[in-house]
Amino acid sequence: MPALTGQSPEALAAWLADHGEPAFRAGQILEWVWKKKVTSYDAMTNLPAALREKLAAHFPLTALTHTTTQGSADTTRKFLFKLHDGRYVESVLIPANPALYGETSDRRTLCVSSQVGCAYGCKFCASGLAGFTRHLDPAEIAGQVLAAEQLSGQRVDNLVFMGMGEPLANLENLLAAIQLITGPKTLHLGARHLTLSTSGLVPQIRQLAEHPQQIRLAISLHGATDDVRQQIMPINKKWPVAELFDALDYWNSRKNQKLTLEYILIHGINDDLEQAAILARHARRLHAKVNLIPYNTVEGLDWVRPSDTRCRAFRDVLKNAGVSATLRLEKGHDIDAACGQLRLKQETTEGLIAPAPIKAR
């Protein structure tokens, strides 16, 4: 049964009309759910009891059941949610003022998941280890933001779709969720505070370029040439860098927002300064900024983080070429070491996925 938090204002109004309810009830219900953020139908005190009962019989209020929080109010917090089919999904709330992906931020940022598991198998990522299970629906995506605000008591003012899953592989549900997140009657967060991160799905990048909202795009690049990138990103075999950069040129022709190129630095794999020089040329042409992220160990994978000296040298090649580049050198905490790890542990414990992690190489 679809949750109330997945209903668009139009769908809710249509449902109310079908059930003989006056149109103004839609506004009241949306206000309770998205603005007052109540957690039960009983709290919707200006609705008649009969309508509350009817709503409860048709829609669970939310699609997510919170099970665990790791971290505390002044550190990064990871929320684990159980879904209706027993699967798990996680969201990470990053508080104001830590260095976020190399930049100091005064915004509270939520890292949102878009799928259970992931089919894309990027070699540095825990989410890809157990393969793909299913897409999240709009209530399960937008509901993460609402739940994070309920649990933290704080407004989330920045979203990054960098949690579990490849958001562009679930584009239809993602766009429906974005309507709920940005809509004036629902969460009302500005589209330019949303960043979608993709492993490089070329057709969907082109499709999203036509979307009217000024959503930001980040590319999980991690290699500036095909031979290097495809060691890390299996998707590169399907859409090599030349096709990816063509799609990014198209994106730039349709959007005003600056692209971000994400680049995890892995010792001996992609940290050669020649890669830095090639990356600099691409980034300059695309007017993109580059986030350099020294590799953090993932259980089951055996890559190594480069030295700080090598990371700085890589960054300096970019900076000297006039590219805006950030580098976060402090070690990742256990909690934010990689997306998908908490869910992976929980589902393994419950026997939902096989315990043995796959070796990267």
Where do contacts with ligand SF4 occur on this chain (CB under 6 A)? 118, 120-122, 125, 127-128, 164-166, 199, 220
Our CB check for ligand SF4 shows the closer of 60 and 165 to be 165
User: C-beta of 118: minimal distance to ligand SF4 in Å?
Assistant: 3
List of residues 6+ apart from 321 with CB closer than 8 A: 277, 280, 281, 283, 284
How is 339-356 classified by DSSP, letter by letter?
TTHHHHHHHHHTTSS-SP
The catalytic residue among 21, 90, 140, 262 is 90
User: C-beta of 337: minimal distance to ligand SF4 in Å?
Assistant: 13
Tell me whether strands 132-135 and 103-104 are parallel, antiparallel or unpaired: unpaired
b/e code 297-331 from CB counts within 10 Å (16+ = b): ebeebebebbeeebbeebbebbeeeebebbbbeee
Our CB check for ligand SF4 shows the closer of 5 and 198 to be 198
User: C-beta of 163: minimal distance to ligand SF4 in Å?
Assistant: 8
Calculated CA dihedral for residues 170, 171, 174, 176, nearest 10 degrees: -130
* Strand-pair partners of 30: none
Rounded Cα gap, residues 50 and 90, in angstroms: 35
User: C-beta of 107: minimal distance to ligand SF4 in Å?
Assistant: 22
Count of beta carbons in the 10 Å neighbourhood of residue 65: 13
Active site residue 311: no
> With left for phi above 0 and alpha for psi between -120 and 50, is residue 340 left, alpha or beta?
left
Question: What's the gap between Cα 221 and its chain centre?
Answer: 16
Contact 144, 179 (CB under 8 A): no
User: C-beta of 114: minimal distance to ligand SF4 in Å?
Assistant: 8
List the one residue out of 266, 305, 261 whose CA is nearest residue 285. Answer: 261
The catalytic residue among 111, 311, 339, 347 is 339
User: C-beta of 28: minimal distance to ligand SF4 in Å?
Assistant: 38
List of residues 6+ apart from 96 with CB closer than 8 A: 105, 106, 107, 108
User: DSSP label at 358?
Assistant: P
User: C-beta of 122: minimal distance to ligand SF4 in Å?
Assistant: 3
Active site residue 274: no
Count of beta carbons in the 10 Å neighbourhood of residue 357: 15
The residues annotated with a catalytic role in the active site are 90, 339
